[in-house]
Every structure is written in structure tokens, then in C-alpha cells.
Amino acid sequence: MVPNRIERIQDGIPRLPSGKLNRGALPKTTDGAPISITAPRTGREKSVAECWAKVLDVPTAQIGLESNFFELGGDSLLLISLVCELEAKGLFVEVHELFDNPTVAGSLPFLQQEQEYSSNQSPVIGSYPALARHRKLFADGFAHPAHWNRCILIDFHRLLDQDALQEAANAVSAHHDGLRLSFHEQNGDISFRFHPPGAMETTLSYLDLSALPAEVREKKKYGLLNELNESFDLAKPPLIKVAMIDDERRSTVALIVHHLLIDMRSCQVLLEDLLSSYQAAISHRSVRLPRKTSSLAEWTEALHAHIDQQWKQEELSYWQHELAGVSQCLPEGKALPDSYCAVDADQRTSALAVGKDVTERLVRGVAPRLDVGMQDIVLAAFAAAFRRWAGLNELVLNTCGVGRDKLFDDINLTRTVGELNTVYPLRISLEADNLLTTVAVKLREVPARGLHYGMLRYIAAHHELADAPEPEVFFNYVS
């Protein structure tokens, strides 16, 4: 390849916080010609571009063969959604292959017409040793662990059919093995059990507000949601409840699901499949959902076999260093700002909403220009605020990862419903002027994206980690 032009850079090569070339800071060439988009030409290229446009929520015309998925606002969760969209068109690819080749042209050689492996589509039944995320909940010592639930509210602009929604809820629960779990603790050991689809149904609670005065409707609505939230028992499925709340003109559907059953990716899959099943039921068609990917049972067995491999000792030392000094993380007697809203005697809350325009500039402007992720930016902003408030030179916190990284050749978790997020500690120096660089480098250094930490602490129970205190700060950001 022969370059069109060679130019001398007077002040050295500009670098991004990650250490890569900062293309935006390079001197402009003399012609200054705008970069053109090479439009997809073949049927396969057009199919891939359409999937990109749907997942990224941008016009198809903005997707060129050399467009970069992450520069257009993509992230790790959207990458998983892209894999599913491609599969719907009969194109199969691994998440890590798209991550390493994030352009339409770059991904084409990795697209397959058939999957190299096929997941078992039969219902999963039986008991299995708990995953690290499950064990952490029991170790955290919640007074009411069964009340640690997600509540998802979906407002519709029309009234729904109650029978069709019940049929859809049952279909989704029968299809996704991870929604039919119970959790059990015996002699200090934790396990989870898959129940057969016919042994349980997802009960639909119904509330009609149309005859009630406006001033009492919210109280009745949230009274039902609180009642459902408090009705969970980890040992007695189902750990998912569905409610349909009507007024004169529209329906609201509430999904109350225990955190141990779903993460953010699972929420996407659950909502997609529930809406698809409802459309089939209301049209008197058979409910047909996409094929299941690997089950939590397969994932559990693979992880327990993997923990006997040779990476353990090196990572033990790494995580011990990260947890060093965790007890001095928060300053003693430091009051929270009065601007925070009081929750009770011991808690205050501060809420900040970032508008769509700022989000667009961050996701599609700042992040790709600096070659950093949104997690880098938000965590660096939090670290700066913490430094200003606490006056400390170090921050030790727990943070999250998606937990669906490609670890085994025969495991595919793109549509698996379960709590697969990883939780791991980070020890961040606050002394540097450029915290964004510090945070970006730190996150890239994390071995196995934090997956092994939970395995070592909660499954292998290495005392070097299991006996260490948890960080008092939790930074919850997953794409």
C-alpha cells in the first residue's frame, strides 16, 4: 500500500488516554477532502448494514463498509443485540469477533451461514451449584434478600388483552429456563434449581383503576407493586410476577423479577420475547421464540471446570492488591452535601439526568475521539467528584462487567437469561491530573474483565479474598 501523501509532524505524535494514536489531533492535510461513506453493495453487506442501523438507531444511509460500530455509539450490550439481529437473518458470528473487527467490511469474513454449535433446546431441570453472583447476594447479608427485585414498567397507548398477556407470560417463562429458578442454602452451601415448565405458571395480577378517582390511583398502583415485591420467597418459584394495570384508555404492564434471575441484557431479551409472544397470542398464532443459547446449567458446569486451571495464583495476587486499603476508602465523619435528598437517617440521594443532546455528544463524539468507552468517562467523572468531596488520594470500589465474554468455544450466552454480570474491585489512584487516562488504563488492565474475581472469592473461596472486607463504594455501570 502506497500512501497518497507523507507529512511531517512537528510536535510529536499525539496520543489518546489509552496510548493509541489521536487521529483527531493530527494536522489537517492540504486537500481537506471530506471522508466519503462507501455504501454497501452486495445483499449480505446490505443485510449487515440494516442490522447495524436497527441496533444503533441510526439511518441505514449512515452505515458504510468502513463505519466503526463503537464510533457510531455502540457498546458491549448493543454488540450482543447486534449478534442476535444478525442471527435473525441467518448470519452467525461470535461477539468477540465483532469486537475485534467492528466495521461492516471487517466483520464479513467471520459471518457464517450456520452455527458451529447448537444449544440444547429441551427444558433444563435439576439442581446446580450457585454462581458467584448468587453467592454474593447471600454473603452480603441482606435482611430480606427475596425483596431484591427489579420492577420494569411498560406503558402502552392502548388497552391490552388480559388472556393474551397471560399466554405470552407463560410462553416466555416456559422458554427461558433461567426464569424457573429457586435458590437454596443448606449447611452454608448455595445451589439453584431449575423447575419444569409444567410445574409452575407466571401468575398475572390484574388491577382496573378506571372506576377510581385520580387522587387514589397511584396509591393503589404502587400498593399492588409493593405487595408483589414482598411476596417473593427465594426457595419457592416463580421469582417473576407480572401485573396488568388498566385505566380508561391504556394498560401498564409491570414485570417484577428477582435480581438473581436477570441482568440488563436479560431484560432486553425478556421484553423482546414478551412483546413478540403477545403479538402472536393476540393474533391467534402459535408463539415461536428464537432458539435458546447456552443455559445457566452449561455455564455453571463450564466455570466450575475452568476454576481448576493454572491462572489462579497470578490473579489472586492481583485481586489482593486491589483490595489493599479498602477499609480506608471512605473518610470518617464526612457529611454528604445538603443538596442531596434525605432517604432516612443514614442515606441521602442525588439524582442527575443527562439530556439526549449531551448523551449523543458523549457517546458519538467524545468517546470515539478519545478512544475511550462510556464507562471510562462516567467512572472518571465519579472519581473526580469523589476526590473533591472526600479529599483522599485513592478510591477503592466495586464495579460491574457484562459477564458474557467469550470464555469457552462451545458456550454462547447472547440470549441466555440470567444474572451474569460480574462484580469486581478497582483500586484507582486519584493523584493524577488526568483521571480519564488513569481510569481507561486501569479498566484495560483488569484480567478476564473481572470474571475470575467472583469465581476465586465466592466459588473457590480463597481466604485471601473471601476474608477481605468489601469496598464501601459501588459503581454500577453496565454499558
Question: Helix, strand, or coil here: 430?
Answer: coil
| Grid cell in block for residue 90 | 441467518
List of residues 6+ apart from 174 with CB closer than 8 A = 123, 197
Of 96, 104, 125, the residue nearest 38 (C-alpha): 104
- Residue 399 pairs in a beta bridge with 424, 475
| Grid cell in block for residue 222 | 404502587
Got the DSSP string for 181-238? EEEEEETTEEEEEEPPGGG---PEEEEE-TTS-HHHHHHHHHHHHHHHHTT-BTTBS-
Tell me: pLDDT of 2 over 50. no
Region of residue 213 (phi > 0: left; psi between -120 and 50: alpha; otherwise: beta)? beta
163 band by pLDDT with thresholds 50, 70 and 90: very high
User: In this predicted model, what pLDDT tens digit does every residue of 371-403 receive, in sequence order?
Assistant: 888 889 999 999 999 999 888 889 999 999 888
User: In this predicted model, what pLDDT tens digit does every residue of 280-300 receive, in sequence order?
Assistant: 999 898 888 888 999 999 999
Give percent of the chain with pLDDT exceeding 90.
43
User: In this predicted model, what pLDDT tens digit does every residue of 446-463 receive, in sequence order?
Assistant: 998 898 999 999 988 888
**How many Cα atoms within 13 Å fall on the side-chain side of residue 467?**
3
Tell me: pLDDT of 423 over 70. yes
Mean pLDDT of 112-122: 72
Decide which of 405 and 418 is more confident: 418
1 band by pLDDT with thresholds 50, 70 and 90: very low
Would you state the pLDDT for residue 379?
94
Which residue type occupies 219? K
Would you state the pLDDT for residue 250?
94
- Residue 204 pairs in a beta bridge with 242
Tell me: pLDDT of 18 over 60. no
> For cell 486501569, what's the residue?
442
H/E element holding 255?
strand 251-258
Q: What is the mean pLDDT of the chain?
A: 85
CA 240 from chain center: how many Å?
19
Of 419, 372, 414, 441, the residue nearest 97 (C-alpha): 414
| Whole-number Å distance between alpha carbons of 131 and 455 | 8
- Contact by Cβ (8 Å): 451, 299: no
Tell me: pLDDT of 32 over 50. no
Got the DSSP string for 37-61? P----SHHHHHHHHHHHHHHTS-GG
List of residues 6+ apart from 361 with CB closer than 8 A = none
How many other β-carbons are positioned within 10 Å of the β-carbon of residue 219? 10
| Whole-number Å distance between alpha carbons of 200 and 181 | 11
- Contact by Cβ (8 Å): 423, 400: yes
List of residues 6+ apart from 211 with CB closer than 8 A = none
Tell me: pLDDT of 8 over 70. no
| Grid cell in block for residue 213 | 378517582
86-95, 109-118, 447-456 — which one is most confidently predicted on average? Answer: 447-456
Decide which of 197 and 407 is more confident: 197
User: In this predicted model, what pLDDT tens digit does every residue of 318-361 receive, in sequence order?
Assistant: 999 999 877 767 777 777 666 666 666 667 788 888 888 888 88
Would you state the pLDDT for residue 351?
81
- Contact by Cβ (8 Å): 425, 453: yes
| Whole-number Å distance between alpha carbons of 449 and 393 | 25
CA dihedral of residues 329, 335, 337, 343 (deg, nearest 10): 90
Would you state the pLDDT for residue 418?
95
Would you state the pLDDT for residue 4?
46
Got the DSSP string for 371-404? T--HHHHHHHHHHHHHHHHH--SEEEEEEEE---
Tell me: pLDDT of 9 over 90. no
**How many Cα atoms within 13 Å fall on the side-chain side of residue 151?**
16
Would you state the pLDDT for residue 10?
59
11 band by pLDDT with thresholds 50, 70 and 90: low
Would you state the pLDDT for residue 28?
58
Mean pLDDT of 49-74: 86
Would you state the pLDDT for residue 25?
62
Question: Inter-axis angle of helices 435-445 and 374-390, to 10 degrees?
Answer: 120
Backbone torsions φ then ψ of 234, nearest 5 degrees: -60, -25
Among the residue ranges 29-33, 198-202, 266-270, 431-435, the one predicted with the least confidence is 29-33
Would you state the pLDDT for residue 3?
46
Would you state the pLDDT for residue 24?
57
- Contact by Cβ (8 Å): 261, 179: yes
| Whole-number Å distance between alpha carbons of 279 and 287 | 9
> For cell 459477564, what's the residue?
403
| Grid cell in block for residue 111 | 459471518
Tell me: pLDDT of 204 over 90. yes
Tell me: pLDDT of 427 over 60. yes
Of 374, 340, 371, 339, the residue nearest 358 (C-alpha): 374
How many other β-carbons are positioned within 10 Å of the β-carbon of residue 131? 24
Mean pLDDT of 39-67: 87
| Whole-number Å distance between alpha carbons of 60 and 45 | 12
